[in-house]
Amino acid sequence: MSFINYASREINCKIVYYGPGLCGKTTNLQFVYNKTAPEAKGKMISLATETERTLFFDFLPLALGEIKGFKTRFHLYTVPGQVFYDASRKLILKGVDGVVFVADSQEERIDANIESLDNLNINLKEQGYDLNRLPFVVQYNKRDLPNIVSVEELRRELNPANVPDFEACATTGEGVFETLKAIAKLILIDLKKGK
C-alpha cells in the first residue's frame, strides 16, 4: 500500500520481486544498487543464508526524484524463492503496490516458474489482492544461457494476460532497469487513478 505523506511531501511505494529459487531476484536488486547514484539509494539489506540464498528478504530503498513536488521513493523487496519459505513470502507481500515476476529461462526450470507463479496468485488472493488488478510485469531472466526456452513459450506459460514483459540477463544488467521502470510506471499510473 503506497504511503502518501502530505506533511513531508513524500510518497512511498513497495515493489516485490517474486520468482522461483535461484532465478535471479537478488541479482536484479544488486545490479540496480550498483548502478544507482549514491544520493538516490539507501543501504541494501540482504537477510540471507551462509550460501547467499535469500532467507527472509532483500531490501533496497530508492529515491528517484520528485513528481508534483513529492519525493518519490520506491522500496524494492525480493522474496526467498525456495519453496519451503512460503510463510516468509506471504509476509513480504503485505502492502505491495506492484510485483515483478522473475522467471528462470532455463528448460529445467519451467515447472519451477509455473509453480512459483501459481504460489504468487494464491498468496495474493489470501490477502485480498488480485494479480490481474495489481501492477505486474514479467522478466525472462538468464537469456545468456544456452539451454533456454523460447520467449514465445515462456510467454504462453507465464504471461497469458500479456502484461509488459522483458528479456534479461541480471548478471550483466541487461533488461534490469527496463523491468524496474515498467513496474514503477504502472504503479504511478495506478496512483494517478487515485484508487
Partner 1 sequence: MPSPQMVMYEDEYKKINHIIEKLLREANSKVIFLVDKNGQLISGVGETERFDTTSLASLTAGNIAATGGLAKLIGEKEFSILFHEGEKDNLHISIVGGRVILVVLFDSRSSLGLVRLRVKKASEELTAIFDGLLKRAEEKEKSSDSEFPFAEITDDDIDNLFR
Task: Provide the grid cell at 193.
Answer: 487513478
The 102-141 contact track toward partner 1, x by CB under 8 A, reads -------------------------xxx------------
Q: Which span sits near partner 1 by CB under 8 A: 19-27, 102-110, 161-169, 182-190? A: 182-190
- Between 93 and 154, whose beta carbon lies closer to partner 1? 93
Using CB under 6 A, which of 12, 54, 72, 159 touches ligand GTP? 54
Residue 121 lies near ligand GTP (rule: CB under 6 A) = no
Is residue 91 a contact partner of residue 99, using CB atoms and an 8 Å limit? no
Task: Provide the grid cell at 161.
Answer: 494476460
Using CB under 8 A, which of 17, 56, 85, 136 touches partner 1? 56
Residue 38 lies near partner 1 (rule: CB under 8 A) = no
Give helix then strand counts, H and E, for the chain: 5, 8
Q: Which span sits near partner 1 by CB under 8 A: 5-13, 140-148, 149-157, 168-176? A: 5-13
Q: What CA–CA distance (Å, rounded) separates 169 from 142?
A: 5
Place of cell 524463492: 81
Please give the backbone phi and psi of residue 93, each rounded to the nearest 5 degrees, phi first: -70, -15
Kindly tell me the burial class for residue 125, based on how many C-beta atoms sit within 10 Å of its own C-beta (0-12, 13-18, 19 or more): exposed
- Between 5 and 49, whose beta carbon lies closer to ligand GTP? 49
Buried b / exposed e over 140-151, threshold 16 CB at 10 Å, is: bbbbeeeebbee
Using CB under 6 A, which of 22, 63, 131, 151 touches ligand GTP? 22
Is residue 33 a contact partner of residue 46, using CB atoms and an 8 Å limit? no
Residues engaged in binding partner 1 (CB under 8 A): 1-8, 11-12, 14, 42-43, 45, 47, 56-57, 59, 61, 64-65, 67-70, 72, 75, 87-88, 90-92, 94-95, 127-129, 177, 181, 184-185, 188-189, 191-192, 194-195
